[in-house]
Amino acid sequence: MTDALHLIDTPEYHDLNTDLAAAVLAIPDEDYARLSHYFHGRYENRYLHPAALPQLQTIIERARAEAARILQQPVTELRAGYWLNIMRKGDITTLHSHDDDDELLSAVYYLQVPDGSGEFRLHERGEIHTIQPVAGRFMFFDPALPHEVAAHRSDIPRISIGINIGPAGEVQESGI
């Protein structure tokens, strides 16, 4: 595996993940603050107003704390922008990177990962690293690395949270 990838499991979040997954699936499209990245018949990014699902903050704050440890920076100097990604049967996430702005680190957190979920593919120096998603796992990686998600093959949705970590002094979307 690559040194550019940091995996952190959170078995203590099992009940939180179950509750959040159910809440996310109950949100109608019109209640999202913004939908973006419309590819292959679906919006890859679903932005919520932070107050819409306050229990997400537990995960976002943990992401900031883990990012601070990885980056060796004080957590107070970092902020996190995030969005939801819901994959249904046949959905993919197209090859992309997150180095458009001032991101220092990118992450994915998996809320719900049924059997048949598409694997995460990280492209690095001509190699493709394939990682199986696991519910309750954070994956941190360099935002400049291209990545994609293979086709989802389950009838049960796969739900993840995309997270970008950047300097606290800069303005970035955080749910909107």
How far, rounded to the nearest angstrom, does the alpha carbon of residue 91 sit from its chain's CA centroid? Answer: 16
What is the pLDDT confidence band of residue 1, given thresholds at 50, 70 and 90? Answer: low
Helix locations, the chain, DSSP H: 14-25, 56-71
Q: What is the pLDDT of residue 121?
A: 95
Tell me the average pLDDT across 74-98. 92
Going 142 to 147 to 153 to 158, the CA torsion angle's sign is positive
Tell me the average pLDDT across 24-36. 83
List, as own/partner pairs, every contact residues 126-132 make where C-beta atoms lie below 8 angstroms and the sequence separation is at least 24, other chains included: 127/2, 129/1, 129/2, 129/5, 131/1, 131/5, 131/7
d(CA 73, CA 25): 35
> For the chain, which domains are there?
5-167 (2.60.120.620)
Tell me which residue of 101, 26, 108, 95 sits closest to 67, measured CA to CA.
108
DSSP 70-94: HHTS-GGGEEEEEEEEEE-TT--EE
Tokens of 42: 């679906």
What global pTM score does this model have?
0.89
Q: What is the pLDDT of residue 99?
A: 76
Q: Does the pLDDT at position 171 exceed 60?
A: no
Least confident of 44-48, 66-70, 120-124: 44-48
How far, rounded to the nearest angstrom, does the alpha carbon of residue 161 sit from its chain's CA centroid? Answer: 3
